A and B are shown apart, each in its own frame.
Chain A
Amino acid sequence: MSGVTPLFDAIWDDYMFWSILVGAFSFGWLYHHTYYYRAKEGESPNIDNLEVGVFPKEYDNFKLEVTWTVLPFILIVWLTYISWAPLDAVWSQTGPDGYHGSVCEDGQSSNNFIDASGYVRSECYHEIGIEGQQWFWEFDCYGLSEELCATDYATVEGELKPHLILKAGETYLAEMTSIDVTHAVKNTEFGMMEDVVPGQTAYLWMPAVEDTSFLMLCAEYCGDNHAYMVAQITVE
């Protein structure tokens, strides 16, 4: 699987590896036993002498049971461990400890790039605003230059939708609010989504690394025209 984001792809590959391993083990076992231990035609032997009204003979093996308690536990600790670092990258804090530095000075560029682990790193970021309401998005460039951030309208399936134009190589932090109900910004190509709950300000990193153009969707059901609450984002 490729093509979402390098970060997503990296975790996905790790998880797929373990999934296939666990799946192959379980299904191999299942298919072997269902075939190998099948009853002969018309026979129904009573192996453990099951008898109505008698609690059956105990059949267990402490060591085995502990094994398949401990091994999956170790596996999930490992999976949690490998999912831990991306957590900080996805919801990176601002400032020098974060992945995207502080707000850019006038004329400063983020110069963002994807590092070996798949994380986007930037020297600084620009702030923009996204406001959701039933049923459209409104972008605010917060006074950034035309080159860095521009808005207009684009035709999507015959309907006029808001259009945000960002610059490749720049990282943006969207300050998001909603004036009515809960919406959610879903930027498929940035591999990110975040709910926009009314009365609160939510933040979402939008690292525009490469030229692209995609649809930003509303991913939290918000009423009648929820499905058509889309906007186009172009990175160029």
Chain B
Amino acid sequence: MVSTSPAGPVMRAQSLSKVYRLGEIEVHALSAVDLDLYPGEFLVILGASGSGKSTLLNILGGLDTPSGGTVRYLDHKLSAANDRALTRYRREHVGFVFQFFNLLPSLTALENVELVTEIAPHARSAREVLELVGLADRLNHFPAQLSGGEQQRVAIARALAKRPDVLLCDEPTGSLDYPTGRRVLQVLEQANRELGTLTVLITHNSAIAAMASRVIHLSSGRISQTQINATRASAEEIAW
């Protein structure tokens, strides 16, 4: 279950464009982006702020629809889907990891994960996933009792618990310090390796690119460069 699967792409974006209207001004957040995502790969989308990486992630995650072009998830055309279909897509196939964790403060770590396992059709055991992210001993802690890194690991467990076909991470280390951030990356790497989860991580931190199987550089809404890492650095080796 490694990135070089001969199968076709899980997701395919073609000629994607996104235009926002901000009053009188039109902002081209994405222009003519073509991108295929393959099973099991670890893709890092690298870009400065305003490069369009978040917009791309939002469209891949079914949170936003493109202004032009198409996005397909297997045989589902996401670019033409309504809210109900997108919700279902997110619910059954996508795992999200946010920059600010976004856990429910009123639920314990275990319960935060269980919240998702209850609605997912083929969920993993909440306890097992929390064990996987190294929080077996923090199951009954509330978010306010956990460190930022621990919270983020709960969030990753929550995302993985539903057996997502694609795991989307939005600056997962953005609000963490270096050692904690690295620990979070290790968890993501481990999940990608052991569970074979297709992982898409967006960041402005170029150091993280070293652990990707593929890196896409985004600037001004266009893919400026695609790079395939023949050898992936392990998360432990990454420093910033």
Q: Do A and B bind each other?
A: no
Interface residues of B (CB under 8 A from A): none
Residues of A within 8 A of B (CB): none
